[in-house]
Structure 1
Amino acid sequence: MPSSAPENRAMPAFTPNVPACTAEMITLATDDRGGDLNGMSHAGTYLVLTNKSGQACTLLGLPSVSMKDAKGLVLPVKRQAPVGMHPGPVVVPLRLEPGASARASLRWVSGDVYDNGRCVDAARVEVRMGNQVLATGMTGHLCGESGQPVAFEQSPLTRNT
C-alpha cells in the first residue's frame, strides 16, 4: 500500500537549467547611495553584482564576504548572523538575467563606541563565488569589541531597482 506521507526531496541548489554565475560573468561594485546606510555611529555600503554575460545565471543568496586593508591583509571581520535566522541563515539563490544587477547591504559600527574596542580600516571587499573571488575597492572604518572579530551586518541579495 502506498504511503500517504509526502515525498522528501532535497531542493536543488540552483535554479534548474540555469548555471551558477562565475567571476567571468559578474562585475562587483560598491555604492554608498549618498550615505544611505550611515548614521548613529554606523556606516555601510551596498555591494552591487551585475551580470555582464549574455546568459542568465544564479548567485548564492548570501555570498561569503571578506575585507582587506590597504596593504592587502585580510581584516578580522565577521558577518553577524541575520536576526531570526538561527541556526541559519537559509537563503535561496537569486537568478540574475543578462544585464541585471543584485545588491546586498553591508553595515557596521563606525564609531569607537566600545570600552577597550578596536577599529580596522577596509580598503577592499571580496565576494567568494565557489573557488573564485570578485574584488573591488571600498572605504570602511569598522569598530567592534576587543578580542573578537569586528562584526558587520549583511543582507541577502535582492534584485537591484
Structure 2
Amino acid sequence: DVKEFVVFCEQCRNIAESELCDICQDPQRDRTKILVVEEPSTLHAIDQSRGYKGLYHVLMGSLSPLDGVGPSDIRARELEARVRDGGVQEVIVATNPTIEGEATAIYLTKLLKPYGVKVSRIAYGIPVGMDIEYADDVTLTKSIEGRREL
C-alpha cells in the first residue's frame, strides 16, 4: 500500500519517503530562501518550473476564520521556528490569490517581521502569451500593482 511509504517531511511538510524530502536533503538548494505554499501540490507545480532553487514550507492550508481555520491550524509556527533558527534571509509567500491566501500572507508577514528577514509575495498577472485585452479586471489590477522597473 502506497500510504505506508509516504510521510510528510519533518522540515517542510512536503510529501516524502523518509524523514526529509528530496528537496530538503539536496545540498545544492539555496538555504537562505524559503518559499511558502498552502499545499504540497503547489510546491510540486512551482518546483517543476525549475525557476526556484531554494527550500519550501507547506502550511497545509490557509487562514479561513469563517471555516474555523486559525493560525494554530496551519504550520505557521513551524515556519517561524525555521526562521528563528537562523540562516534564512528571505521568505517568499506563494499562497493562493484568494481572501484566505491574502489573509495568510498578511499574517505571515506580521509573524516574521521581528526576525528581520525579507518577506515577499509572488507576483500575479497576465500569463505569458495571453493578449492583455482578454485579462479580467482583478488580473489587470494585480499586474499593474506588481509592475517592475525595466
Instruction: State TM-score, norm by structure 2.
Output: 0.23
Which structure features the higher share of strand residues? 1
Which structure features the higher share of helix residues? 2
Question: More relative contact order in 1 or in 2 (CA 8 Å, sep 6+)?
Answer: 1
Instruction: State TM-score, norm by structure 1.
Output: 0.22
Larger Rg: 1
